[in-house]
Structures are given as C-alpha cells and as structure tokens.
C-alpha cells in the first residue's frame, strides 16, 4: 500500500491508515482468541465505523516510554484513567473527533493496584481530544493532545497480560508495542513514490521553464548544470531506492534472521530513505524558485511529510544511536551488502571496524551513529541497484551522492579528491542527460502528479480556479487560495495566508481540494 503513488498526495491519510490498521487493529486482532468480547470492536473498525488510534508517547516522554505518567488505578469494578500532569498528555496521534466517525484508542498507562506500581499496560478507551495547531508544511492531519480526567473504565478495557507485577516491565512493554517496528519499516516506503514524483516535477518544470539572456532565444533552465545536478541526483535516488525496497522488506520479514537483526535492517532503511530524500528535496526545491515553497506544487509538502516520517515510530537519530552501539559491541550483526567490494560497501565496513566503546564514546563515537547507519544503507541500496540493473549513469550519481555525505573519508582512503569528485560528477551527468526524459517517463508516476507547474495546461487549469479579489478602488485584482482577508493601511483588501486551497473549492483538473487549517 505504501508504495502506491496516490498516498503521496495525502500522507495524512496514510498516517491514519497506519495507526488504524497496523497499530490499533494489529494490536487487537491477536487478542481475539482469548478476548472474543473484542470482536465487535474489531469488526466495526474493519468496516470503518470507528477510527482506531494508538496513544503511547506523551508530551514529556517520547522514546523513554518506560517513564510514562498516565495512570490507571484499579478499583472494584474497573479502572480510573487519569492524566496527572501536562507532561503526561498524550501527544500527536490524530484523535480529534470527526462527526459520524467515533474514535477509539489503545492507551498506555501506568497500572496501580493497591498503591503498587505494576508497570505500563494498554487499555481500550473512547477518546476525544484538543486539536493542535496545524503542522507546518505537511499534509493536513488532525493532530491532537489527549488527556483524561479521572475517566472510569470497565474491567474489560484492560488489554494487558495480567494485573500482577511483571518480572521484566521493559520486556513486557516491548511485547505490547510489537507493531511499532512494522510501522517503522512500512511508513518510509512512501519515500519511494515521493522520490519518483519529486524527480518528475523537477524534470517537467525544468524543461517547461525558460529564461532569456541578451540574445533573442529563450532556453530551458535544464540547460544549466546548476539545474541538472539536483534533478539528476533526485532521479538517481528514486531509481536506487526503488530497487532496494523489495530487498529490505524481504530481510525484514525473514524468519532466518534474528529479530534484532530484522529491526536493525528497518532502522537502516528508514534512516537512509528519509535523510537522502529530505536533503535532495531541499536542494531540488530551491531550483524551482518561489514555486518550490508552495504546497500545491507538492515538493515542499513531500519534504515536510518525509521529515514527519523520520520521527514517527521512532526518531532516526535515537534509533541509529541504539543500533550503532549494539553493532559496535557485537550484540548482533547486519547482513552484508550483496556486493561487498563496492566503494560504498568498503566505506561502511571501515566504520564498524574502527569504532568501539570507551570512556569517550559520547564525545567521539556517538556523533558517528547516524552517518554510520546511513553509510550502511547506501551500501545496501547501491548493491540492490546493481542487481536490479539500474542504468549505470544513475548508479554513478547515487554513488557520488553517498560520497558527498563523507568526502573526507573518500579523499583519505579512496583517493577521491575534490577535483576528482567534480570530474566524476561531470562524467556521470553527461552520460545521464541524453536519457533524462526517458528516466522521467519510466518512473511512471506522472498521472498522479497534480502540481500545476509541470505543464502549461496544468498551470492554466489550476489558475482558472483561483478566486479574484478586487480592491476597493477597483483598479487591481488579486488571486488567492486563501479566504482570509485583512485591511491594509490604504483601505484596500489584501490577501494573507500561505496558499491552502479553499474549503469549498471544487477541482476541475483532478487536484484534491485541501481544507484550510
């Protein structure tokens, strides 16, 4: 599902589905053999009659979930669920009530029985929440903070293994949240269609947009190397990441690998996907000029959505620190790339041979965690690109993108100086340029791209839907996607806002209307 390009147009919908299907239903369904009373809830959720959520993290507690403050106190006929402090409010899941679609959540709270702390356990709760302000730049979603004021729950709300004190509270909590690693693996998959759509936008706009110098002729901006580079790098990343995704999923689901190894593959996949894409989307977005910062042209929205994914289901940096530390002490290993002799594989191997735990770990080794994990991911992706037959110019560009993440090592150990890097880049770009339009066509996502800047017809169709606002003097007209109007000092009406579509705007060119937040 996450590889379907249509989800890129509304990552908010993808988030709702991920919470509902993976976390909510994925947690309840395995309980049915022992809890048949949950079947009506599961059936209603499967039919879409209720929307399910998963309330784990709190304002004051992100990854330190063993320190959650929300309490569930055992009473004679059930439990009392309570939020004792503001830092204990459940943070971020989209729990804002939607008329006609009640919301239910699996809420994690600290169980108290006879005054004794019995660890963190899940409870099934109907919820309503306080809506948060809109998240900047990303797809609209009803993020909220959720709190409980002495809410009475029936005994059947308890979804835990038992009321007794667990021998290992951390291990038990890990069993409860076993669906989270699945989300960590599947959510970043949207980076693949996002990369393809971003690259397609870059290609089409760069051929459409023309500039004119002192001479009479206009030339497309793709003629300039400064435009070619971000477009081609994004294409290369799209092709190589698409080649890697099936292999990463195969390893993640393999029963031949240790659970820790499968989780490690997930972290490598997520970190590499998200970091490569946000960096190159940023570079490509700048080459779209002012058009690149408007959400209706998709690129800035996709960049922010990927940034959100980099935090969802586990922050990339923290996950990388944990994985890197465990690899250094030899707790387990990751599968080697299928091509261990490539330049990128050599770089990854060098990191893990020289790192070790010592008293200066926090100062010297810790900052290397994320770069080390991404180096491993680049080696994986490049090898998969080789196996999948990705065109050589794009493989070379992907390799160069990885080298640029750590040019010092490649200069010292592979003899690739700054001048050599430029020459390699020039060679790869010249080899790729004749096939640029073909690369775009073969990504096969253009029918989903609704950015108006990709063609004259798309722009004209989009522009015709804008609302004309006249000034008081009648001498000027302004067009806006935003209905908020304020008076300026001269008494005329001026338009304010950030370019969201009108709530009631009906698209005649296939674009999805977005509600103004």
DSSP state of 292: G
3-state class of 485 per DSSP? strand
3-state class of 495 per DSSP? strand
Q: Which CATH class is domain 186-443?
A: mainly alpha
Q: Where do the CATH 2.40.110.10 domains begin and end in the chain?
A: 9-178
Q: Name the burial class of residue 389, with classes exposed (0-12), middle (13-18) and buried (19+) by CB atoms within 10 angstroms of its CB.
A: exposed
Would you state the pLDDT for residue 311? 82
Structure tokens at 81: 């669920």
Task: Please list, residue by residue across 354-370, b when 16 or more beta carbons sit within 10 angstroms of its beta carbon and e when fewer do.
Answer: ebeeeeeeeeebeebbb
- Count CA atoms closer than 13 A to 253's CA, side-chain side: 8
Rounded Cα distance, 478 and 359, in Å:
63
Would you state the pLDDT for residue 434? 96
Would you state the pLDDT for residue 214? 82
Would you state the pLDDT for residue 466? 82
Rounded Cα distance, 159 and 52, in Å:
15
Would you state the pLDDT for residue 485? 36
Distinct helix (H) and strand (E) counts, the chain = 17, 15
3-state class of 125 per DSSP? strand
Q: Where do the CATH 1.20.140.10 domains begin and end in the chain?
A: 186-443
Would you state the pLDDT for residue 98? 65
**113 near 72, Cβ under 8 Å?**
no
pLDDT digits (tens, 9 = 90+) for 201-257: 999 999 999 998 888 889 999 999 999 999 999 999 999 999 999 999 999 999 999
Task: Please list, residue by residue across 97-123, b when 16 or more beta carbons sit within 10 angstroms of its beta carbon and e when fewer do.
Answer: beeeeebbbbbbbbbbeeeeebbbbbb
Specify the CATH superfamily of domain 9-178: Butyryl-CoA Dehydrogenase, subunit A, domain 2 (2.40.110.10)
Q: How far is CA 68 from the centre of its chain?
A: 25
10-residue averages of pLDDT along the chain (517 residues): 78 82 94 96 93 89 85 95 91 64 90 94 82 56 79 95 92 91 88 93 94 87 95 97 96 93 94 94 90 84 85 85 89 92 91 62 78 95 97 98 94 93 97 96 92 89 81 56 39 35 32 31
pTM given for the model: 0.83
**234 near 298, Cβ under 8 Å?**
no
């Amino acid at each position: 599902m996450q590889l379907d390009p249509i989800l890129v147009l509304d990552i908010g919908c993808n988030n709702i589905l991920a919470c509902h299907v993976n976390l909510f239903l994925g947690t309840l369904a395995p309980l049915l053999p022992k809890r048949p009373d949950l079947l009506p809830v599961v059936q209603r959720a499967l039919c879409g009659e209720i929307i399910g959520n998963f309330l784990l993290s709190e304002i004051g507690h992100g990854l330190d979930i063993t320190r959650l403050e929300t309490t569930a106190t055992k009473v004679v006929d059930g439990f009392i669920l309570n939020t004792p402090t503001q830092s204990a409010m459940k943070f971020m899941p989209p729990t804002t009530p939607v008329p006609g679609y009640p919301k239910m959540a699996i809420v994690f709270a600290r169980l108290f029985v006879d005054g004794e702390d019995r660890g963190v356990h899940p409870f099934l709760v109907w919820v309503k929440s306080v809506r948060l302000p809109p998240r900047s730049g990303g797809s609209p979603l009803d993020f909220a903070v959720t709190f409980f004021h002495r809410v009475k729950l029936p005994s059947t709300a308890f979804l835990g293994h038992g009321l007794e004190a667990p021998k290992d509270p951390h291990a038990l909590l890990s069993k409860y949240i076993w669906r989270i690693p699945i989300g960590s693996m599947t959510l970043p998959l949207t980076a693949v269609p996002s990369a393809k759509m971003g690259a397609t936008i870059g290609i089409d706009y760069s051929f459409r947009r023309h500039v004119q110098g002192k001479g009479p002729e206009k030339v497309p901006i793709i003629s300039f190397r400064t435009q070619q580079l971000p477009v081609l790098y994004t294409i290369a990343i799209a092709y190589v990441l698409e080649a890697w995704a099936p292999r990463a999923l195969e390893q993640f689901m393999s029963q031949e690998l240790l659970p820790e190894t499968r989780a490690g593959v997930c972290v490598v996949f997520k970190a590499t996907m998200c970091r490569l894409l946000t960096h190159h989307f940023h570079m490509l977005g700048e080459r779209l000029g002012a058009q690149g910062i408007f959400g209706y042209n998709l690129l800035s929205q996709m960049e922010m959505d990927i940034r959100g994914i980099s935090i969802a289901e586990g922050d990339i940096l923290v996950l990388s620190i944990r994985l890197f530390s465990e690899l250094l002490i030899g707790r387990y290993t990751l599968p080697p790339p299928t091509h261990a002799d490539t330049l990128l594989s050599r770089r990854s191997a060098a990191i893990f041979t020289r790192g070790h735990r010592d008293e200066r770990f926090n100062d010297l080794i810790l900052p290397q965690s994320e770069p080390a994990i991404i180096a491993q991911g680049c080696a994986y992706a490049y090898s998969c690109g080789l196996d999948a037959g990705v065109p050589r110019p794009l493989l070379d560009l992907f390799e160069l993108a990885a080298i640029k993440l750590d040019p010092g090592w490649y200069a010292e150990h592979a003899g690739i100086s700054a001048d050599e890097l430029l020459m390699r880049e020039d060679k790869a770009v010249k080899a790729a340029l004749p096939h640029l339009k073909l690369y775009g066509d073969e990504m096969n996502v253009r029918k989903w791209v609704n950015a108006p800047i990709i063609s004259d017809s798309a722009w004209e169709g989009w522009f015709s839907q804008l609302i004309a606002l006249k000034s008081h003097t009648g001498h000027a007209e302004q067009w806006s996607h935003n209905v908020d109007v304020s008076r300026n000092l001269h008494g005329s009406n001026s338009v304010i806002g950030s370019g969201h579509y009108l709530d009631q705007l009906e698209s005649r060119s296939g674009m999805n209307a977005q509600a103004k937040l």
